[in-house]
Structure 1
């Protein structure tokens, strides 16, 4: 991808291998690597399902979840559940059982409908804050059934929508975004807008979203941090 730093490169090697992590290279040790190896452009690489399973068990949950969501999206509607099942099998049979419970929770949460990694991370963050899982990219239709636009994240049963305004995607779209919000409010939605920089501190997001659910008569008994292991919560503290 243009503009992305290709480093560090991450590789997996058998236990006892001489190769070690160093600047620009992250080395992971694993078992049964040969069983999951395929050749791509002359290089021996792990199958996608094995890579995603390993990431879900060991890496930062929001990053691993974004990879998972994009992998499901790439499979398309027809292949999405087959890929989910294949990743689930790899998690269940992974030689190292650590992180398995969290990985399966993330696997069940992913929809494969996010249009970008940022949207996937937003979905993860919402659920990890203790809110119900929203629908991603929910279509809003006109009287003839034609799609007017897609809601980034929505709870249609409560008429609550959350719109994520990324940097590039919304430049010069202020009038369009305002018209979209006006249409949603006309339909009875409470609309919450979040900008990319607003995700550094989610205090406002928590407050406004909690207020929206209260306005709909629902007081949530949230358990923030439920998708993270204790180790990852300590890293973020």
Structure 2
């Protein structure tokens, strides 16, 4: 059935319908591999680290998806298998839960585990996402950090918890915020509300520097798809977004910076663009 294209082999002894596989993106396929490892485990394990994130619909951008990560709950060290990293460490009862019928670490534990994987930018996106959606709170993350503060690689969490901002809504916004921090630019206000004289909210801005009269919008394709109205094309959404920008400019008199994913590939150049907008007199 694999040779004929009916099934796709996830790993030895685990298969999925080829039509289902074809409809999945990279994260969905990784999630199935993770479930296959769980289904074949001979020891008590739960999905952990990056492997638990798909069950919570959390972002995995920038985190390695080569291996499946599980943690044993019996405290016994096991063998490493091909494509599987089996972790052993202190597991508290409050670290464990079940989502979608799958045993997995809690959002607080997964968020801090993502920090130990070595990519602080990616970990910040995880922390912001989980807090933005109300799956975990800042105090809960700090309590988790205290419980894990002797772990290798966890030290970066101290900085990330200071940068944490539940108002940040997407990976693109988290990466933008990280670039601003890394390039030592002034910290902006996330999701800044522009109001009229009666207090009615006219617009919410991705980031703003009110005292410098500048705001920044991150333009990812998903932004227009997510907020597209019924019957509206992406082109219509773009036109509506331009009208929104003109309204904000008329009401506030501020300058607007628009960036895309491509701009995030060169943080130094991006910092120059933002700096010139913030301090035009110095350009």
Find out whether 1:178 has 2:242 as its counterpart.
Answer: yes
**Secondary structure of 1:103 counterpart:** helix
Q: 1:30 to 1:159 in 2, by over 3 A?
A: farther
Find out whether 1:110 has 2:132 as its counterpart.
Answer: no
Find out whether 1:198 has 2:259 as its counterpart.
Answer: no
Q: 1:216 to 1:66 in 2, by over 3 A?
A: farther
Give the distance between the partners of 2:131 and 2:142, measured in 1 at CA.
12
Q: In the alignment, which residue of structure 2 is the partner of 1:52?
A: 111
Structure 1 gap segments, 5+ residues each: 220-237
Find out whether 1:72 has 2:131 as its counterpart.
Answer: yes
Q: 1:201 to 1:37 in 2, by over 3 A?
A: same
Task: Give the C-alpha shift of residue 57 in structure 1.
Answer: 3.3
Find out whether 1:85 has 2:139 as its counterpart.
Answer: yes
Give the distance between the partners of 1:138 and 1:126, measured in 2 at CA.
16
Whether the 8 Å contact between 1:160 and 1:212 is mirrored in structure 2 is yes
Give the distance between the partners of 1:176 and 1:127, measured in 2 at CA.
31
* Stretch moving more, 192-201 or 176-185: 176-185
Q: 1:90 to 1:34 in 2, by over 3 A?
A: closer
Q: In the alignment, which residue of structure 1 is the partner of 2:253?
A: 188
Where relative contact order (Cα < 8 A, 6+ residues apart) is larger, the structure is 1
Q: In the alignment, which residue of structure 2 is the partner of 1:234?
A: none
Displaced runs of 4+ in structure 1, greater than 4 A?
none
Aligned counterpart for 2:193 among listed residues 108, 127, 139: 139
Task: Give the C-alpha shift of residue 28 in structure 1.
Answer: 5.1
Please tell me whether Structure 1 or Structure 2 has the larger radius of gyration of its CA atoms. 2
Provide the TM-score with structure 1 as the length reference.
Answer: 0.76
Aligned counterpart for 1:19 among listed residues 80, 87, 103: 80
Q: 1:39 to 1:177 in 2, by over 3 A?
A: closer
Task: Give the C-alpha shift of residue 44 in structure 1.
Answer: 2.9
**Secondary structure of 2:148 counterpart:** coil
Q: Deviations over 1:85-122 (max 9, x none)?
A: 12112112216443333212111211111222222222
Q: In the alignment, which residue of structure 1 is the partner of 2:53?
A: none
CA RMSD of aligned residues (A): 2.7
Q: Deviations over 1:183-224 (max 9, x none)?
A: 33332312111022222223442112111232377x9xxxxx
**Secondary structure of 1:58 counterpart:** coil
Number of aligned residues = 210
Q: 1:198 to 1:41 in 2, by over 3 A?
A: closer
Give the distance between the partners of 2:86 and 2:119, measured in 1 at CA.
15
